[in-house]
Structure 1
Amino acid sequence: MNILVLGGTQFVGRHIVEAFLAAGHQVSILTRGKSPDELPAQVIRLHGDRNQGAAGLAALAGHRWDACVDVSGYTPQQVRASAEGLRLQVQQYVFVSTVSVYAEPARHPVREDDPLLPPAGEEVTEVTGETYGPLKVTCEQIVQEVYPGRCAILRPQIVAGPYDHTARYPYWVDRASRGGEMLAPGDGTDHVQVIDARDLAQFTVRVVEEGLSGAYNLAGPRLTWAAFLNLLGVGSPRWVPQAALDTHGLGHRELPLYLPEDSEQAGLMDVSPERALAAGLKHTDPAVTARDTRLWSQGAGLRYALSPEREAEVLQALQR
């Protein structure tokens, strides 16, 4: 098959491109050329920028693809431009959205037919913590409007694995590798849930090859924090309750992935992947995700909000 990926040089997009190539398909990417590109030479590079509207998509003219996988659509203006511009050039449009579209993230578990956030206006272009979910809702609606019956919406959980420059998941595998007493949030009974980027990519290939439509939550195995740190090899976790974390100013930046079980967002660590599993989603062993992320991250030069010095300072204060 002939596949177009909008984006494709970074993290999730890179895994998707590599998965299509491994399955024997031909891949073109639309890229602005602003990110490092380590993709194989066989990938066809087309240069453009959806932020410039139709003019920014001129490089796509005269081509046809079996499917378009949109990894980099964050605003309605971007997605409107590509969806309408490609209407007659692609058979299927696959939009990579997010579980942040759900209006009631405290639900357990979060399912595809749960209520969504009110959509953002199509004129909104600023992506913030407040607008991210509503913007993705509007983007989903545009894709469904332009490609009725021939589109799929993928809603991944937090994505983990090699090439993850967000530094959320890598913090934990890198911190665990240092050993020693480790500051651990909560009491070990809260939950963490991520999706391996390679599982997301393989499922994307399946969606295209089988012409699947509809919305799919993409989430991995759900682990307690005690089980998660155990598989990372943490021998001396120091469990710190939420109140103490607040006292020392430790939040989601310093301790990424952590959501207390009683928080308003806790359902986002209890996302049901049942529909995707029934359609062929496969899960990588969480220990393999951790191992492979560490193999990559140890040479990636990532920087974290919680420094070793700050962690040691907090641990010492907690002993008083």
Structure 2
Amino acid sequence: MDILVFGGTRYFGVHLVNELIKKGHHVTIATRGMTPDSFGTSVERIHVDRYDINQLKDIFKDKEFDIIYDNLAYSSQDIETLFNSLHCHRYILTSSNAVYPFQLNTKEDDFVAAHHVLKMGVRSSFSYDEGKRQAESAIVQLHPQQKTTRVRFPVVLGKDDYTKRLYFYVEHILKGIPMYIDHLTTSFSFISSHDAGAFLAYLSDKDICEAINACSPQSITLQEIFDYIEDHTGKKAMITSDGDKAPFHDIQSHSLNVEKAQNIGFHFTPLSDWLFPLIDFYICQISEDEHNI
């Protein structure tokens, strides 16, 4: 298939592109050209600003794709900018569990984009969670004939996580840096960056035209993460009211139900099989950096 990917040069987008290449698809990555990639001659590249409708119309006016993967839509206007410029048989949007209220065992029907009040606006018009709701709503309400899959991820973690959210905890505990977080019993779902990319690619030949959750089926508390780091470093977390505000601060417990994804045959990596090795990787990385100072 002829596939176009927006957001394929970093993080889980890299894993998506690699998996699509393995599947034998013809892959084009749309990029501003600011982030180098390692795909070599395995992909085609088009330099374009995803958010510039004039560029999109000019570059893609004579092109049509079997699938467009969009990892870069954060608002209703982002959807309209793309759909007024490109044509595809199927559109796969990377969405988020942020569209849901915070709750455990969240199922896809707990947010129905068709019923959400649609408001047109750019990314800065909305909070992150509302922007994702608006992106989904624009697709469903303004383009009901378009075959679309909306993939809802929780927090994505991996060695390539440029936000360094998990790294923050390991670094602060290992270096004895005070941090502030209110509820260590908060429980989360996560997905590895590898699984995120692999699941998106898996959908390339699956006729799923609806919202679908994706994550490791288990959840974990911050206390369990802290306990593991402390046990494996001999260091104790320093939690103070004036410490650095930690990632996931003031977020309620939530998890995703992934029965729909499992029923189409995808097997997510168990949380403990990748999260704890990732913590070990960060411990070694930070320890080596400290030793080399």
Partner residue, 1:77: 77
Are 1:31 and 2:25 an aligned pair?
no
Deviation at 1:35, TM superposition (A): 2.6
RMSD: 3.3
Are 1:225 and 2:222 an aligned pair?
yes
Quick one: distance in 2 between partners of 1:239 and 1:296? 16
| Aligned residue among 245, 248, 252 for 1:257 | 248
Quick one: distance in 1 between partners of 2:215 and 2:249? 16
Quick one: distance in 2 between partners of 1:186 and 1:281? 35
Deviation at 1:115, TM superposition (A): 3.9
- C-alpha spacing 1:237/1:48, structure 2 compared with 1 (3 Å): same
Quick one: distance in 2 between partners of 1:33 and 1:289? 31
Query: TM (normalized to structure 2)?
Result: 0.80
Partner residue, 1:95: 93
- Contact 1:174–1:298 at 8 Å: present in 2 too? no
Quick one: distance in 1 between partners of 2:138 and 2:222? 38
- Contact 1:185–1:239 at 8 Å: present in 2 too? no
Deviation at 1:22, TM superposition (A): 2.3
- Contact 2:180–2:243 at 8 Å: present in 1 too? no
- Contact 1:49–1:57 at 8 Å: present in 2 too? no
- C-alpha spacing 1:190/1:45, structure 2 compared with 1 (3 Å): same
- C-alpha spacing 1:186/1:235, structure 2 compared with 1 (3 Å): farther
Deviation at 1:299, TM superposition (A): 7.0
Deviation at 1:57, TM superposition (A): 4.0
| Aligned residue among 127, 134, 154 for 2:130 | 134
Query: TM (normalized to structure 1)?
Result: 0.74
Corresponding residue SS for 1:17: helix
Quick one: distance in 1 between partners of 2:181 and 2:264? 35
Partner residue, 1:306: none
Are 1:248 and 2:248 an aligned pair?
no
- Contact 1:112–1:217 at 8 Å: present in 2 too? yes
Alignment of 1:97-246 (within 5 A): 97-102=95-100, 104-105=101-102, 107-115=103-111, 119=117, 121-126=119-124, 131-144=127-140, 145-146=142-143, 148=145, 150-174=147-171, 178=174, 189-220=185-216, 221-232=218-229, 234=232, 236=234, 238=236, 245=240
- Contact 2:78–2:122 at 8 Å: present in 1 too? no
- Contact 1:173–1:294 at 8 Å: present in 2 too? no
Quick one: distance in 1 between partners of 2:76 and 2:226? 39
- C-alpha spacing 1:116/1:256, structure 2 compared with 1 (3 Å): farther
Q: Between Structure 1 and Structure 2, how many residues are aligned?
A: 280
Partner residue, 2:56: 56
- Contact 2:188–2:220 at 8 Å: present in 1 too? yes
Quick one: distance in 2 between partners of 1:170 and 1:182? 15
Are 1:280 and 2:280 an aligned pair?
no
Corresponding residue SS for 2:27: strand
Deviation at 1:235, TM superposition (A): 5.0
Quick one: distance in 2 between partners of 1:175 and 1:41? 41
Quick one: distance in 2 between partners of 1:214 and 1:190? 29
Corresponding residue SS for 2:129: helix
